[in-house]
Amino acid sequence: MKKLTKAEEQIMQRIWDKGETTVSQLIADMPEPKPPHSSISSIVRLLEKKGYVDHKAYGRTHLYFPIIPKADYSKKSLSSLVSDYFQGSFEQLVSFMVKEEEIDTEDLKQLIDKLENESQ
């Protein structure tokens, strides 16, 4: 799975949310000022080249859809983050999040309890 640029990832998030979409539909849902059609079309074609999306052609209209599940991309991205910044240790990631107050210890305890209950 090839790494996505920030712009590619933003478009891919929208495609995952929609399931199937055209470039025009993607642009319609974007805030003002709207990007040029050619810019979004180029990004979608790059996503297709990288194997993230495919399309069905209806005349001149292309309906794009994801072929890489969002969960697979999320898992790969998180694994890369942990590998690149936390020496491959999820424990270091969680410790960092607690230290940076991104998650407090009470929330962490609740998460552990939830995970333990789900695994039973």
- For position 108, what pLDDT does the model report? 86
On whether residue 74 sits in a domain, the answer given is no
On whether residue 79 sits in a domain, the answer given is no
Confidence of residue 111 (pLDDT cuts 50, 70, 90): confident
Answer yes or no: do 56 and 10 share one domain: yes
38-69 CB burial, b ≥16 within 10 A, e <16: eebbebbebbeebebbebeeeeeebebebebe
pLDDT in tens, 49-102: 999 999 999 999 999 999 999 999 999 999 999 999 999 998 999 889 888 888
Answer yes or no: do 48 and 96 share one domain: no
Q: By residue range, what is the domain housing residue 13?
A: 6-66
Report whether pLDDT(2) > 90. no
pLDDT in tens, 3-21: 899 999 999 999 999 999 9
Residue 28: CATH number of its domain = 1.10.10.10
